[in-house]
Amino acid sequence: MTGGDERFACLPLPLPVRAGNAGFFISQGRGRHPERVIASQELILVSRGRLGMHEAECEFDLGPGDVLLLSAGRPHGGTVQYPPDLAFYWLHFEMAPPAAGIGEGGGGMAGAGAVLELPRTVHLPQPGRVEDLLRRFLNDQEAGCLKRLEADLLLLQILAEIADAARPPVAAETVGGPGPVLANQANQLIQTRFSQGISTAALARDLHCNPDYLGRVYRAAYHCTIVEAIHRQQVAKARELLKDSPLNSHEIARACGFRDDIYFRRIFKRHAGLAPLAFRRLYARRHVNTE
């Protein structure tokens, strides 16, 4: 490092994207997305309900967790009336040349090194990860403290999550015998019973197998322990309740299967990076529109 203030290191950040305005649309059960052509790209993530859209001649039926990336300079609009239960995030952005347009030949992002292959549409297996980033964007935008670099970096993180969701899944390690089937059965039970305070021993008892064996085949199939998988489901539900319900931290802990508030706060902070109440305060503001 030469010149300038030696207390700081200078890190050049030529980002290939530039974030614009964003918002959270809540349907009033009337109207539809307007027909228009805009100069920027637009990202749409459906939070609940269904959204019918088209871009030129292509039509899309989007449900919760579905993302649509609309290209700049192409006509788009709604194909059906807004249902009353619909809510979705939207974010306008620009891509630095010479990046290819989204949806053209798989989409791409220019720049030295890694390339993000962006799909026109994709379903997010964990939409909460992108919703958290969008809510942080909206919170700071509403508060008037969203800096240009922060906005662009948040956008880049969002696009990276979308690109990752579009990649083919990595094949799970094979396990001899009934292991993969057993792991899948355990995973289904985790997804439906995480709020009941389940454990590896309880799952093994219900599946009539040895707990150690179940733990091994589950890790081989899903690359995490059963306890980690349970915690992920519990924290995902806690995020949802902290964002959209009036329940307090104690009530949310119980609703997600935790019997100890201190343990709940520790696990939540480990996964979300914030304590539950700090998480709720961070995402309290949203730029909401109904038209």
Structural domains of the chain sorted by starting position, each given as residue range(s) with its CATH number in brackets: 17-166 (2.60.120.280), 179-282 (1.10.10.60)
> What is the reported pLDDT for 174?
46
Question: In the sheet where 87-95 sits, what is the strand order?
Answer: 121-123, 66-70, 41-48, 87-95, 17-26, 288-289
Q: What is the C-alpha separation between 12 and 19, in angstroms, rounded? A: 18
Tracing tokens 């899903």 back to the chain, one arrives at 222
> What is the reported pLDDT for 250?
95
> What is the reported pLDDT for 259?
92
> What is the reported pLDDT for 116?
81
Given a cut of 50, the residues of the chain with pLDDT beneath it are: 1-2, 98-112, 170-175
Express each pLDDT in 236-248 by its tens digit: 899 889 988 889 9
CB 272 within 8 A of CB 282: no
Omega cis (within 30) before 127: no
Long-range contacts of 275-280 (CB under 8 A, 24+ apart): 276/238, 276/242, 276/249, 276/252, 277/249, 279/239, 279/242, 280/242, 280/243
Q: What is the C-alpha separation between 47 and 176, in angstroms, rounded? A: 40
> What is the reported pLDDT for 108?
42
Identify the H or E element spanning 190: helix 179-193
Tracing tokens 């109904």 back to the chain, one arrives at 290
Q: Is the pTM of this model over 0.75?
A: no
Residues 145-180 as b or e (16 or more Cβ within 10 Å = b): ebeeeebbbbbbbbbbbbbebbeeeeeeeebeeebb
Tracing tokens 């649509």 back to the chain, one arrives at 68
CB 242 within 8 A of CB 256: no
> What is the reported pLDDT for 4?
54
> What is the reported pLDDT for 103?
42
Cβ-proximal residues to 137 (8 Å cutoff; 6+ apart), any chain: 19, 22, 91, 146, 151, 154, 155
